[in-house]
């Protein structure tokens, strides 16, 4: 559920379809993850006012409360992943990753390129 929480910290209130597109997960995976996060009290689903078939996902106070821990874990994990890389190697890795994601998105005919921006953070 980690990537879903990270996205919601940046953009609370997204619908499940948008989350799926931005994180390149299928809708079933998103639904299962949101079910679990909702059961555990980290998010709540609210029916979209403009599209009654869709739910918007909002962080609860409990979900917001763990943001510092999630951010710290993310930073620690990223440090482990690029440990021993030079600054240039890290920049090259980010650029190559951006290109890979762009290729995947093009192949999937996705127009929402937010994930590329997310990868560069």
Distance CA 50, CA 105 (A): 27
Q: What is the pLDDT of residues 50-90, one digit of tens each?
A: 887 888 999 999 999 999 999 999 999 989 999 999 999 99
For the segment 90-112, the average pLDDT, to the nearest whole number, is 79
Predicted pLDDT at 26: 84
pLDDT band at 105 (very low <50, low <70, confident <90, very high): confident
- Kindly report the pTM of this predicted structure: 0.75
Give percent of the chain above pLDDT 70. 88
């Amino acid at each position: 559920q980690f990537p879903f929480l990270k996205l919601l910290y940046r953009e609370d209130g997204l619908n499940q379809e948008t989350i799926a597109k931005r994180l390149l997960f299928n809708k079933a995976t998103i639904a299962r993850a949101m079910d679990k996060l909702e059961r555990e009290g980290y998010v709540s689903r609210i029916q979209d006012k403009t599209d009654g078939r869709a739910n918007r996902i909002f962080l609860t106070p409990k979900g917001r409360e763990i943001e510092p821990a999630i951010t710290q874990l993310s930073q620690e994990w990223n440090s482990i992943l690029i440990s021993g890389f030079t600054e240039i190697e890290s920049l090259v890795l980010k650029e190559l990753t951006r290109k890979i994601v762009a290729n995947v998105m093009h192949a999937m005919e996705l127009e929402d390129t937010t994930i590329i921006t997310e990868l560069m953070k």
